């Protein structure tokens, strides 16, 4: 039984859903995660299961066929899934990034058209922001939208890379420039001129369906623009990245929990002479760090999600802190878990070897650790320098 | 003075900005975006603060730099969203 402080803060409904999520992961995710990782693909059947359970539209309001769950429940879903498979959790992450950006900045017509199929999982979305030459430096985007002479269509040219879920997504939220202004536009997969090239052999997140997108004179209706040109990076992308960070922070927490649980189970049973591995002081040190990071990360995630549920402006920086903390703690924990399990932890049959590879990806996606430090450092320094005091 | 009159709205927004970013002085017509003191993260935080504090929703039609560029602009925007005739 989880007696952590984070668990004590949950409502009865949240605890009930958390048990449901954990049961789903135990039965339908954990037994297959290694195979998905090895084959570098997620079967349609497991994405269908996410859809049928409402997990792909869990944060969207009921009026758009979503579940209307609060952000704390979204946290619990991502943590439970992250314990089982980072790659599968990435589908939930990206779906939330596209859906929540559209919910905030889409027109009424766009929301009516796109959100119900996204909420029901009939359509998977992908967030096409990163380019070969523009990762964290978003101002360097070279993908271009050009209006046609009538003004009813845009011609899209450019190249996106490292786009999660792009191998199977049905619609892409593509970021680029329109004249001198940033722009975001929904582009259906079947649009002529869009070529999708799968990326394989990643270190981690191997089943997350990453791909490159090549746009050659792709014609999209101007009605597909999301938000006004000039606000795509500052507002549309920010909302998407915010939900991406919430999801990734909680997914990393789940991975950390997996490392902790694998480590204590092994330490308590693996014999060395008449002692167990857990009797060794250096192993206890590794487990102590993991357990403490788990409690701290759980509270940081919970605080960020509660702030989001209360629609507080500090939700953004609390989410940055949670993602910054849990992604780094996951890397430490995965390294420790492999160390504790020794040779058996280095083999693909042990989840900790996959955790070790997936954890590092958590420090890269939705803003690198260094970008988080730059933003958070500035926020803290600014708070100390109010009005020059 | 309440948070629903012009002076109250302006003071409330000014307090939030001054507690969040390092700025020596902020006049009512200073352009926050041209000065470079507002980054994209703070722009969204500021929007969220305005939504929460004044119980309004900023939608895609409101995405206009003229609505957020200064204390006077934000005050007028809030008044207008709340149906004030001078907004």
H or E stretch at B14: helix B6-20
Structure tokens at A286: 């590794």
Judge: A107–B60 Cβ closer than 8 Å, yes or no: yes
b/e map A336-368, b = 16+ CB within 10 Å: bbbbbbeeebeeeebbbbbbbbbbbbbbbbbbe
| Model ipTM value | 0.90
Between A and B, how many residue pairs show a Cβ–Cβ distance under 8 A?
Answer: 68
* A92-126 pLDDT, tens digit each: 999 999 999 999 999 999 999 999 999 999 999 99
Which residue matches tokens 């001129």?
A: A193
Give residue-wise pLDDT tens across range A25-48.
999 999 999 999 999 999 999 999
Judged by a CB distance cut-off of 8 A, whether residue A381 touches chain B is yes
- As a whole number of angstroms, the distance between CA A342 and CA A345 comes to 5
CA dist., res. A317 & res. A315, Å (int): 6
The rounded distance, in Å, linking the Cα atoms of A104 and A100 is: 6
Alpha helices (H) in chain A, listed in sequence order:
5-8, 12-24, 30-39, 44-52, 71-84, 86-105, 108-119, 238-269, 281-309, 315-341, 351-362, 369-384
Residue A384: strand, helix, or coil = helix
Predicted local confidence at residue A9, as pLDDT: 87
What percentage of chain A reaches a pLDDT higher than 90? 90
Q: Contacts of residue A324 in chain B, CB cutoff 8 Å?
A: none
Rounded to an integer, the average pLDDT of B2-12 is 88
Strands A211-221 and A153-163: antiparallel
- Which pLDDT score, from 0 to 100, does residue B39 have? 83
- Confidence bin at A2 (pLDDT 50/70/90): low
Cα(A351)–Cα(A263) distance, integer angstroms: 11
Q: Select from B21, B51, B63 the Cβ nearest to the Cβ of A235.
A: B63
Dump pLDDT digits (tens) for B34-68: 777 778 889 999 999 999 999 999 999 999 999 99
- Show which of residues 12-41 on chain B sit within 8 Å of chain A, judged by CB atoms: 16, 18-25, 40-41
Sorted by sequence, the CB contacts under 8 Å of residue A19 that are 6+ apart come out as none
Q: CA of A314: which chain B residue's CA is closest?
A: B45
Instruction: Tell me if A234 and B43 make a contact (CB, 8 A cut-off).
Output: yes
Nearest to A69 by CA among A112, A114, A100, A101: A100
Chain mean pLDDT for chain B: 88
Across A133-147, A218-232, A296-310, B65-79, least confident range: A133-147
**Interchain proximity A388–B24, CB inside 8 Å:** yes
Write down the number of H helices and E strands in chain B. 4, 0
- Output the six-digit token pair for A196: 């999708």
Contact B60 A312 (CB under 8 A): no
Contacts of A258 (CB under 8 A, 6+ apart): A82, A83, A84, A351, A352, A355
Helix (H) or strand (E) holding A188: strand A181-188
A39/chain B closest Cα distance in angstroms: 38
pLDDT number for residue A183: 96
């Amino acid at each position: 039984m989880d007696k952590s402080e984070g668990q004590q803060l949950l409502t009865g409904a949240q605890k009930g859903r958390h048990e449901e999520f954990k049961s789903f992961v135990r039965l339908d995710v954990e037994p297959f995660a290694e195979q998905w990782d090895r084959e570098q693909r997620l079967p349609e059947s497991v994405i269908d299961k996410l859809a049928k359970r409402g997990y792909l539209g869990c944060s969207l309001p009921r009026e758009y066929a979503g579940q209307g769950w609060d952000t704390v429940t979204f946290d619990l879903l991502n943590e439970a899934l992250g314990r089982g498979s980072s790659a599968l959790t990435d589908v939930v992450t990206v779906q939330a990034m596209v859906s929540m950006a559209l919910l905030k900045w889409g027109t009424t017509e766009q929301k009516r058209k796109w959100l119900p199929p996204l909420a029901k999982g009939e359509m998977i979305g992908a967030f096409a922001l990163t380019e070969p030459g523009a990762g964290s430096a978003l101002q360097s985007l070279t993908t271009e939208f050009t209006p046609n002479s009538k003004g009813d269509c845009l011609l899209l040219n450019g190249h996106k890379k490292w786009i999660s879920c792009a191998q199977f997504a049905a619609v892409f939220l593509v970021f680029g420039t329109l004249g001198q202004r940033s722009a975001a536009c929904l582009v259906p997969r079947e649009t002529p001129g869009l070529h999708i090239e799968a990326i394989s052999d990643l270190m981690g997140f191997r089943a997350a369906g990453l791909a490159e997108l090549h746009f050659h004179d792709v014609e999209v209706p101007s009605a597909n623009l999301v938000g006004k040109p000039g606000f795509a990076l500052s507002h549309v992308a920010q909302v998407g990245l915010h939900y991406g960070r919430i999801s990734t922070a909680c997914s990393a927490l789940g991975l950390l929990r997996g490392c902790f649980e694998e480590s204590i189970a092994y330490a308590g049973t693996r014999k060395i002479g008449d002692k167990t591995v857990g009797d060794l002081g250096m192993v206890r040190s590794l487990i102590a760090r993991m357990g403490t990071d788990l409690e701290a990360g759980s509270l940081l995630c919970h605080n960020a999600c509660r702030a989001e549920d209360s629609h507080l402006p500090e939700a953004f920086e609390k989410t940055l802190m949670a993602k910054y903390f849990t992604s780094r703690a996951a890397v430490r924990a995965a390294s420790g878990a492999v160390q504790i399990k020794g040779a058996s932890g280095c083999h693909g049959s042990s989840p900790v070897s996959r955790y070790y590879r997936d954890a590092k990806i958590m420090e890269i996606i939705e803003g690198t650790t260094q970008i988080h430090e730059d933003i958070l450092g500035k926020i803290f320094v600014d708070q100390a320098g109010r009005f020059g005091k | 003075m309440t948070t629903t009159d012009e002076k109250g709205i302006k003071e409330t927004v000014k307090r939030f900005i001054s507690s969040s970013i390092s700025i020596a002085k902020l006049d009512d017509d200073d352009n926050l975006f041209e000065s470079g003191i507002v980054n994209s993260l703070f722009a969204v935080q500021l929007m969220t603060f305005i939504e929460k504090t004044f119980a309004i929703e900023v939608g895609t039609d409101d995405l206009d730099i003229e609505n957020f560029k200064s204390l006077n602009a934000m005050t007028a925007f809030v008044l207008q969203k709340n149906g004030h005739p001078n907004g």
